[in-house]
Amino acid sequence: MKKLMLAALSVLMVLAFSIPAMAAATAAVVDNGDGNVVFGGEATYDMSNKVYVDYGVDDTTNAQFFSITTVHSGGNRMFATTSETSVLWYQTVDKGNDTPISVDEVWTTGQFDSDTSWKSL
């Protein structure tokens, strides 16, 4: 499951860098009912069953700064990163959690370090 989460986050990070190039970039919308994530330009991505994502941008007209958080409700870890850190962070959560924490788009390594609930991979 850890490999699945890392693969999903890796794919989403690549997509995050391509989002600003799409017309009318907007923050992702997560439909927790069917797992579809809709990005700017109406691109839709189907997530694996029980995988939930929170993707945020600082400015929908110029999405230079982003954050992405993901959790699998069958697991006990939530993963996150931002455009301002090169580290993948995780925290332990209760099994069954289907609500990724919304992380500030400009959080740096220092800010993740100062929040003791986050650990680096």
The string of pLDDT tens digits covering residues 51-86 is: 888 888 887 777 788 898 999 999 999 999 999 999
Element of type H or E holding 11: helix 2-18
Between CA 33 and CA 6 the distance in angstroms is: 22
Considering only CA atoms, which of 59, 58, 92, 88 is closest in space to residue 78? 92
State the pLDDT at residue 117.
93
Which residues of the chain fall below pLDDT 50?
18-30, 32-33
Amino acid (1-letter code) at residue 96 = G
pLDDT of residue 6: 62
